Amino acid sequence: MPTPADPLTGPAIDPASGRRRARLRAGARVVAAVAVVVALYVALVVTYALSDAATVDRKAVPRPDGGVAVILTARTITAAAGTMRVDVAIDPDPSLLGSDGYPSRPITVAVDPTEEDADLVFEADRRPQARQLTVLFDGDIQDWPFDRYTGSLTATVTVGQGADAVLVDSVIELDGSVQGWDLAESADPQAPDLLVDVSFHRSSAIMLFGLTLVLVLILLPVACWIVQVRLYRDRRLFEAGMLGWTAALLFATIPIRNFFPGSPPPGSWVDVLVVLWVVVALAAALFVGVAAWIRSPRPSP
């Protein structure tokens, strides 16, 4: 039987209908939250698939006649130091090779700027094997995960040793890929054969991964405060285990922060603007929980 209307207040509200509408609203919120999580997951998967360690596009500069092409193959990047570990290989002109296909005279390569600041000597009558160097770049890891590094690399090549050493024409190229980074190179318009401009930044997938972890950190105190405020207002039965749950969230903050890809150094913007305030908010929520425990009456015998 429908609920009769009150002449003073108007039609009465059916309690069952109100509960159904509340359940529908709650279900819609759950569906919306699940849709957001699924969308973020799909975006991360697609971004990772599209930006997975793409090989750098090499500039189209031919090897000079009678000269040497110096090829740098990227291997690893250390963002904190602004360095890239590369393999250095050479491609000499046939006129510089003997009948056995090996250099007829020693070939010395000087790449700048490098951490070692040393010349690489490829001996005569031997297969020119790749050597390793650490090249330097300008950038600041404090901008993580949006840090970007740039630099100009040069290569000087001489053939022979001592008084017989002769400077020959050379070109320098960058090749290879590094997981989690996007690399690019371009010829310098002032000296396209001698200088190459190199830049690299974190891939879109790594950026999205890091920002997702930042979002997770922000959600921790939000969830904690929702629970603790309701406990303090006596809208939920207080349980002592909630204090342990809050403390667990507090101690989980640092492991999540240390899981950031690229390991940004302490004191970067993410620490000052996010991690510090997450810790403060969780500690304050813990005190709200203690206050709720103090206000909670002891049950009667």
User: Does the pLDDT at position 6 exceed 70?
Assistant: no
Looking at residue 253, what is its pLDDT?
A: 92
pLDDT in tens, 164-188: 888 988 888 888 888 888 888 877 6
pLDDT in tens, 229-240: 888 887 666 677
Burial class of residue 241 (count of CB atoms within 10 Å of its CB; 0-12, 13-18, 19+): exposed
User: Does the pLDDT at position 12 exceed 60?
Assistant: no
User: Does the pLDDT at position 279 exceed 90?
Assistant: yes
Choose among 99, 119, 116: nearest CA to 107: 119
What's this model's pTM, rounded to 2 decimal places? Answer: 0.74
pLDDT band per the 50, 70, 90 thresholds, residue 269? confident
User: Does the pLDDT at position 27 exceed 90?
Assistant: no
pLDDT band per the 50, 70, 90 thresholds, residue 48? low
Mean pLDDT of 208-226: 90
**At residue 221, what is the residue type?**
P
Q: CB of 107 within 8 A of CB of 159?
A: yes
* pLDDT averaged over every residue in the chain: 82
User: Does the pLDDT at position 243 exceed 60?
Assistant: yes
Burial class of residue 92 (count of CB atoms within 10 Å of its CB; 0-12, 13-18, 19+): buried
pLDDT in tens, 136-169: 999 988 888 889 999 989 889 999 888 888 898 8
Looking at residue 274, what is its pLDDT?
A: 92
